[in-house]
Amino acid sequence: MTELVTRTAVPTGTAPTRLVAALRAALPGKVVAPDDAIWDLARRGWVLNVDQRPAAVVTTDTAAEVAAAVRTATAHGYPVTAQPVGHGATTALTGSVVLRTRGLGGIEIDTAARTARVGAGVKWGELLAALEPTGLAAPAGSNPDPTVVGYTLGGGLSWFGRAWGLAAHAVTAFDVVDHDGRPLRVDATTDPERFWAMKGGGGDFGIVTAMEMRLFPAPELFGGRLMWPIEMARPVLQAFREVTAQAPEELTLWAQLFRFPPDPAMPEAIRGRSFVCVDLTFLGSETEANHHLTRLRQLPAMVLDTLAPVPLGRLGGIAAEPTDPMPGQEWSGMLGRLDASTVDRLVDTVGAGADVPLAVVQIRHLGGALTRGTSEDGPNGAIHEPYQVFALGVPVSPEVSAGIEAAFGTLRATLAPELTGRTFFNFLGQDSDPAAAYPAGSLVRLRQVKADLDPAGAFRSHRPVLA
């Protein structure tokens, strides 16, 4: 093993103009550079307030184009990063060559073997639609817009994590372009340390061109949203706590507090109003699901009940999250417990009476199969925390941004007795330390894998393990 380093060695690059000229020669018509009129659009991520300043942006639609871009960038001393959509936009990719890999398509489903092979540009909404007629499903998250690969490299905390574990732990192989531009087949046999690191360690270990994963039988899916005015937050969250404490692994509930702006573009029913919701999925029939939901459905003042059988292709609609780029500022953490006093403090801090600039405060129920991951499955190993908290504000001005940060601080203080210090990788805030995502042993191993396999820092994750 090479000596463990503590920070990615950023190579000293040649002048950007020479890099750009070489990229344009290797990939004509595919390169956008700072002097191009569309530069500001090209460098933008999905999270609009993050000011990404790469050295160049290259559209790579085939593995051969990825290889050409990697070879050219590394020859000129520039790190490379893939950013198909930009949900994980961060300033960590400053000075790197960003590959837009959305064009790496292709979905192959083997129903007999219960496996899927997806190109690195495939979005979750596309895979779920393709799986819908098969009766098989994959561990998708709340939103149809992230790529399957980007989400899974970050671990992948799914609606179905309680039943099937992390998405990353279902991966059987990656097709990768390495720092020399060579195609690699990365699986448990061919390249075990890289494979382990990529199952939750992010984009630091090569550019993925395709991924293969196990599928799970899901003949029936039930779910939707229950919603009340935010004044009902206390009884709803107490009921959420009681129902989740008894929930089978097939049932997943997420509680959310929403504050909608008085934006004329919003539907009148929600414009300028605030709500408490319970969103849920159940891997089974409506009859079985209802057995667990009586406590919630009996609560008064409900304004919306969309619970119904859900075609898999519409899974992404349950949480009704935005899919278009927007500004966002987020914070998250894992909770060691959620008891009656936690709920009371949370409602006092962000409930109806509180004036906080947080568009969303979400509590996800974890547990189940997530607790049974092992350190050999990937860097996340087991997640023992039974709940995750996530908060999002929309920073429309520096003043609002400061208010959001202050609200995160208040939330952190409120939940201090329950916060364990761990944050799931895919929910790290823009400035969070990736070290918070992993058990200590995993972090040491991840950094060693990075030092061994990419000592020159050819690849730059949006949340580098050596940060």
Ligand X SMILES: Cc1cc2nc3c(=O)[nH]c(=O)nc-3n(C[C@H](O)[C@H](O)[C@H](O)COP(=O)(O)OP(=O)(O)OC[C@H]3O[C@@H](n4cnc5c(N)ncnc54)[C@H](O)[C@@H]3O)c2cc1C
By beta-carbon proximity to ligand X, the closer residue of 150 and 403 is 150
| Min CB(162)–ligand X separation in Å | 13
| Min CB(201)–ligand X separation in Å | 10
By beta-carbon proximity to ligand X, the closer residue of 149 and 354 is 149
| Min CB(177)–ligand X separation in Å | 8
Which position's Cβ is nearest ligand X?
A: 150
By beta-carbon proximity to ligand X, the closer residue of 141 and 403 is 141
Instruction: Tell me the two tokens of residue 426.
Output: 């895919």
| Min CB(294)–ligand X separation in Å | 27
| Min CB(118)–ligand X separation in Å | 11
316 CA to centre of own chain: 13
Quick one: which H or E segment has residue 149? Answer: helix 148-153
| Min CB(364)–ligand X separation in Å | 8
Quick one: which H or E segment has residue 242? Answer: helix 233-246
By beta-carbon proximity to ligand X, the closer residue of 347 and 363 is 363
| Min CB(82)–ligand X separation in Å | 3
Angle at 39 between CA 53 and CA 118, to 5 degrees: 80
Instruction: Tell me the two tokens of residue 171.
Output: 């991966």
Cα→Cα distances 30→227, 229, 265, Å:
46, 50, 36
* Nearest alpha-carbon partner for 464 in 295, 17, 192, 454: 454
Angle at 36 between CA 30 and CA 40, to 5 degrees: 95
| Min CB(91)–ligand X separation in Å | 11
Rounded CA-CA distance 70/179 in Å is 7
By beta-carbon proximity to ligand X, the closer residue of 101 and 448 is 101
Beta strands in 120-250 (DSSP E): 136-137, 171-177, 183-186, 207-214, 216-217, 222-229
Strand-strand pairing, 360-365 and 274-282:
unpaired
b/e code 82-119 from CB counts within 10 Å (16+ = b): bbbbbbbbbebbeebbbbbbbebeeeebeeeeebbbbb
Tell me which residues touch ligand X (CB under 6 A). Answer: 81-89, 101, 120, 141-143, 146-147, 149-151, 153-157, 202-203, 207-208, 321, 426, 461-462
| Distinct helix (H) and strand (E) counts, the chain | 12, 19
